[in-house]
Amino acid sequence: MTEPTVGAGFVRGLLEFAVRRGVDRQALAARAGLDLAALRDEDARLPFSAYVALMKAAQAMTGDPALSLRYGADVNVAEISIVGLIGQASTNALEAFVQLNRYVPLIVETENEGGGDRFRMQMDCRGLWIVDARLHPNDFPELTESAFAHIVCSPRQHGHDLVVKAVHVTHPDPGYRHVYEEVFGCPVVFEADRNAFLIDPSWPDARLQHLPRYAFDVLSGHAEGLLASLASTNSVRGAVEKHLAAMLHTGEVSVDAVAERMAVSRQTLYRKLKAEGVTFEQVLEQLREKLALRYLKGRKVSVNETAYLVGFSDPAAFSRAFKRWTGMSPREARLADA
C-alpha cells in the first residue's frame, strides 16, 4: 500500500496557525523539510509523513505540545478544506456528518477498522458517541486531537454550541489534560478502549445550512471530482503521479528516482505502467499539462513560476511544451477565464 496523503490545505492551515503563534515561516518549513511551493494549490496532495513532520516541528518551535488541540479548536475546517464548506451547506448535523465521512479522505487518508467509515455513531445508555475508527491511532494521537477539536469547535464558531459530555482517547495522558478540558468543556479519560466523545442524542437534528443550498451541489460536485482523482492513486499510474508531483519543482525527475521511491526496479515500473496502457513519459507529460493548466487558471502564480513548479528551468521551453499540449500559449491560458 502506498503512503497515505493529506490535502495541502490541511498542511497549510497548520503552518499558518504556527506562524500566527510567532514561528518564522521559512524556518518552520526548513525544519519540517517542507517545500512551501507545494502548498500553493490547496487541493494538491502531500505525503502524510510531511504533515507529521510539520506538526512535530511546529510543536517544538512553539514550545506547545498541545498545538494539535489548539489548531483544531481555533481553525474552522471550512478555512482549510472543501469538506468544511460542504458541512456549512448541509441542512442539518446528520447530513454534515454523512458528508464528512464521504469526503474526509480529501483532508487526510486513513485506514479504518473493518475498512468502513472513519467516524461512526454509537448509542448507549449515556447518549450518542462519535467514534473515530482510525487504525493505530496511538502512532500519531495528534490527529485524533485535531479531528475531535475540529468537529466540536467549528460549529461553535457559527453559534451552534455542541455540548460534549465526555471525551475518551486511547493514548496516555500527554501532560496537558487541562487543554482538553478547556477545548471540550468536559472530563477526559485517557488510555480508554476507543477514541470517542459523548454528545446529546438530539444533535443529528440540529439545523445548519450557513451557505445557500445550491452551494451544496456545486461544492459536492467539485469534491466528487477530487475524490475520483484521489481514488486513482490506487493505480500504479496514480502512485507515479503522486511521486512526480512532489518532485517536479526540483527539475530532477527520472524514472529511476520514482522507481526508488516506490521500492521497485525500473523494469518493474515500466512493466506495470505498460499493463495500464501508458508509459512513464506519457504520465509525466500529462501530469505537467494538468498541473500547468491548474496553476495558470488559478492565476495565483506567474507563467515563470508555473514553469518552475512543473519542472522546467527554462520558461521558453515550458512555453513551447505548453503550446504543444494545448495549442495556446501559457499567457493565453492564464487569461482565458479572467
Q: Does 268 map to a domain? A: yes
Q: Does 307 map to a domain? A: yes
The more confidently predicted of residues 228 and 307 is: 307
Task: Name which of 255, 256, 246, 230 is nearest 309 in CA terms.
Answer: 246
CATH code for position 279: 1.10.10.60
> What CA–CA distance (Å, rounded) separates 115 from 79?
28
Mean pLDDT, residues 199-219 = 87
> What band does 58 get if pLDDT is binned at 50, 70 and 90?
very high
Overall number of domains in the chain? 1
Q: Is the pLDDT of residue 161 over 80?
A: no
Residue percentage of the chain with pLDDT more than 90: 62
Which tens digits make up the pLDDT trace of 4-36? 889 999 999 999 999 999 999 999 999 999 999
Task: Name which of 146, 208, 158 is nearest 183 in CA terms.
Answer: 146
Query: pTM higher than 0.75, yes or no?
Result: no
Q: Does 168 map to a domain? A: no
Q: Does 316 map to a domain? A: yes
Q: Is the pLDDT of residue 275 over 90?
A: no
The more confidently predicted of residues 170 and 289 is: 170
Q: Is the pLDDT of residue 52 over 90?
A: yes
> What CA–CA distance (Å, rounded) separates 168 from 202?
20
Mean pLDDT, residues 153-180 = 91
Q: Does 117 map to a domain? A: no
Strand ranges inside the chain, DSSP E: 5-7, 45-47, 119-124, 127-132, 164-168, 188-189, 195-199
Q: Is the pLDDT of residue 1 over 50?
A: no
State the residue range of the domain holding 318: 235-336
Q: Does 251 map to a domain? A: yes
pLDDT on residue 145: 98
Residue 78 one-letter amino acid: A
Q: Do residues 17 and 64 lie in contact, with contact meaning Cβ atoms separated by under 8 Å?
A: no
pLDDT on residue 234: 61
Mean pLDDT, residues 190-195 = 98
Which tens digits make up the pLDDT trace of 76-98? 999 999 999 999 999 999 999 99
The pairing of strands 188-189 and 195-199 is unpaired
Q: Does 278 map to a domain? A: yes
Q: Measured between alpha carbons, how far is residue 30 from residues 15, 36, 251 in Å?
A: 12, 9, 19
> What CA–CA distance (Å, rounded) separates 307 from 323?
13
Q: Is the pLDDT of residue 155 over 90?
A: no
Which tens digits make up the pLDDT trace of 287-332? 899 888 888 877 677 899 889 888 998 999 999 999 999 889 998 8
pLDDT on residue 337: 56
Q: Does 86 map to a domain? A: no
Least confident of 136-150, 237-251, 312-326: 237-251
Q: Do residues 96 and 219 lie in contact, with contact meaning Cβ atoms separated by under 8 Å?
A: no
pLDDT on residue 191: 98
Mean pLDDT, residues 213-226 = 88
Q: Measured between alpha carbons, how far is residue 272 from residues 59, 140, 302 in Å?
A: 41, 33, 36
Cα-Cα-Cα-Cα dihedral sign, residues 283, 288, 293, 299: positive
pLDDT on residue 338: 53
Mean pLDDT, residues 121-135 = 96
pLDDT on residue 248: 85
